[in-house]
Amino acid sequence: MSLVITLPDGSKKEFNHALTIKEVASSIATSLAKSAVAGKVNDEIRPLDFVVDTDARVAIITDKDEEGLQVLRNTAAFVFEMVASKQYPSVRLGTSELEEDGFFVDTDKEDQIKASELPDLEKEMQKIVKNGEKIEYKIVSKSELLDLFKDDPYKLELLKEEADEVAVYKLEDFVDFGFNALLLNTGKLKHFKLLSVAGAYWQGKSSNPMLQRIFGTAFFKEADLKADLQRREDIKERDHRTIGRDLDLFFVDPKVGAGLPYWMPKGATIRRVIERYIIDKEVADGYQHVYTPVLMNLDAYKTSGHWAHYREDMFPPMDMGDGEMLELRPMNCPSHIQIYNHHIRSYRELPIRIAELGMMHRYEKSGALSGLQRVREMTLNDGHTFVELDQVQSEFAKILKLIMEVYRDFDITDYYFRLSYRDPKNTDKYFANDEMWERSQKMLKGAMDDLGLEYVEAEGEAAFYGPKLDIQTKTALGNDETMSTIQLDFMLPERFNLSYVGKDGEEHRPVMVHRGIVGTMERFIAYLTEIYKGAFPTWLAPLQVKIIPVNNDAHGEYAQNVKDQLMKLGFRAEVDFRNEKLGYKIREAQTQKVPYTLVLGDDELQHNSVNVRKYGSEDQESKALSEFVSELSADVASYSRNK
């Protein structure tokens, strides 16, 4: 026989026999064969012992390639499965998948695997690795696997998606399928870690059993693993769910409603400060703030297109019994359209800017819910501007200027601009009007070019009704997230028959500009909590000043007097009257990340002064109360920005 292997550089190698990917690598270079972990055959990832027996394109995957890391992590997941099945004979295995930074395996047994058991499972995995045991690849019939897994409902479910012949891997007596490629043996799997345990519904459906999801990661180099574990530790410290619990900001209790946050007094204070700030900024910028209902007739969402394009993310309609169907709103735009349409509008009024902290509801699956990041009820800092066509560019620039001012006050600096266009091939998602799309996308791009701002372009990221500018931020956990957006919309004004009377006395169609400055209150506060690590700047801190009398009897009255003065000036202050040691109270104020701690003793009482300790500093400084008030006022007025 004769076959031709085409390499990535276009060169060809001829062979007179079938050969494995490993042998292909050896024919190119001995060093390549040593670093090889898998290969690509006609763009499909295959293990090194996969036999190539026809003409094919072949690329060698090494331990330096991203796909090589995927092979390593798949192998780690497979070895974990083998060890788990050995340690717990009754365990049943569900899905095993890769994620951005590692892998996870879903397991199910009567007493679910606990986090405390992971170190022992790791040790058993290390024994397998140390021995460098062979992992065998072969093709078996589906019927053979149906018999092998007859007592495992999860594997039987997964086998429904497989063809009549299935690729499997075998380690000792353990067999599994669903992996595109694993290492030839366990020898290279030296640097791995089982990380955590969480619950996960089988196939993500809340009606299915809750399984135990084991997370892990693996690297080819020990230094890379250590760096990743350090990064994860930093993420854990910044996780807004952990900080929210420790600082008593909010909680979510599935017993009373998954994805429905309860804001505790401290968290509610942070939210209130942000809401007041945003409203004041918008009113000063010409917005009219409104309140609109969270319920709306379903027909409005059918007119807007949300029902057709967004139905899966909407709650089921409520039948009011008289033919009226009400819907919990997933978006505020139809509500603001009703505000605009309530009066006859003139060109003299435009631009008309309508804003609201509008509560919305989204039908999020249970598995997708996460703290304040993904919730079912949220309040959006929403706004819609209705403009004439020749006002679009100037209004766009005005909105962007407002966004930049807000970013400056919150010290948000890590962001970039993304122009989000439609995917013209996706006729299901996007409103079908080529002329409208071309016009609005050209207008949006022109506005950015006129401002001289750099941006990236992304096809398929537009809203279903129009293109948008997304301002993408990096969260403290390294995720790319849309913080703000400005969207051009020619569609909804058409669908709702919006108009204004122009200079010529005739009716004209306005352009609608959707914009969000900081997104939802929930996600924004999660973002800030992680960026600040819970140490909110003074103007945002739920408690700005903790006052500690050295002796409650001797200095308590003065401490209360200082608190009253600060409260009258609008600051958030509290006296710690607990019967605890002074050092303990000071340390706890630091743990709670209070910006200023005032310790008041005899000297402070005598001189009407305060002893000031700033959060994060061991230094203390005595100063007149009036001087401290001036310092505190300046801190808050400057939004606690670094000078």
Contact, 498 vs 303, CB < 8 A? no
The partner residues of 380 in beta bridges, in order of sequence, read 358, 520
What CATH architecture is 3-62? Answer: Roll (3.10)
Interior angle at CA 156, CA 154 and CA 160, nearest 5: 115
- E-strand stretches of 202-293: 210-219, 250-251, 262-263, 288-289
The partner residues of 214 in beta bridges, in order of sequence, read 105, 197
Q: How confident is the model at residue 432 (pLDDT cuts 50, 70, 90)?
A: low
Nearest to 39 by CA among 58, 54, 11: 58
Query: Does the annotation list 514 as a binding residue?
Result: yes
Q: Give the per-residue pLDDT at 238.
A: 87
Query: Does the annotation list 384 as a binding residue?
Result: yes
Alpha carbon distance 244, 250 (integer Å) = 6
Per-residue buried b or exposed e for 389-415, using 16+ beta carbons within 10 Å of the residue's own CB: eebbbebbebbbebbeebbebbebeeb
Question: Which SS3 state, helix, strand or coil, does residue 160 take?
Answer: coil
Q: Give the per-residue pLDDT at 431.
A: 61
pLDDT surpassing 70 at residue 99: yes
Q: Give the per-residue pLDDT at 429.
A: 61
What CATH architecture is 538-638? Answer: 3-Layer(aba) Sandwich (3.40)
Helix (H) or strand (E) holding 437: helix 434-451
Nearest to 169 by CA among 180, 159, 160, 157: 180
Q: Give the per-residue pLDDT at 423.
A: 74
Contact, 217 vs 73, CB < 8 A? yes
Residues 221-240 pLDDT 10s: 999 999 999 988 888 888 89
Q: What mean pLDDT, rounded, does the chain reach? A: 90
Dihedral pair phi/psi, residue 10, rounded to 5°: 95, -15
Query: Does the annotation list 240 as a binding residue?
Result: no
Residues 555-605 pLDDT 10s: 999 999 999 999 999 999 999 999 999 999 999 999 999 999 999 999 999
Do 3-62 and 68-225 share a fold? no
Just give the CATH number of 68-225: 3.30.980.10
Share of the chain above pLDDT 70, in %: 98
Q: Are strands 56-62 and 92-99 parallel, antiparallel or unpaired?
A: unpaired
Size of the chain, expressed as the number of residues it contains: 643
Q: Cis link prior to 351 (omega < 30° from 0)?
A: yes
Alpha carbon distance 431, 466 (integer Å) = 8
- H helices within 533-597, ranges in order? 552-568, 582-591
The single residue listed with the structure tokens 């001036």 is 630
Per-residue buried b or exposed e for 188-222, using 16+ beta carbons within 10 Å of the residue's own CB: bbbbbbbbebeebbbbeeeeeeebbbbbbbbbbee
| Domains of the chain, residue spans | 3-62, 68-225, 270-291+333-532, 538-638
pTM reported for the whole predicted model: 0.77
Interior angle at CA 331, CA 327 and CA 334, nearest 5: 80
CATH of 270-291+333-532, one of 3.30.930.10, 3.50.50.60, 3.40.920.10, 3.40.720.10: 3.30.930.10
Which residues are CB-contacts of 438 (< 8 A; sequence separation ≥ 6)?
none
pLDDT surpassing 60 at residue 621: yes
Q: How confident is the model at residue 428 (pLDDT cuts 50, 70, 90)?
A: low
Residues 273-331 pLDDT 10s: 999 999 999 999 999 999 999 999 999 999 988 888 788 888 999 999 888 999 999 99
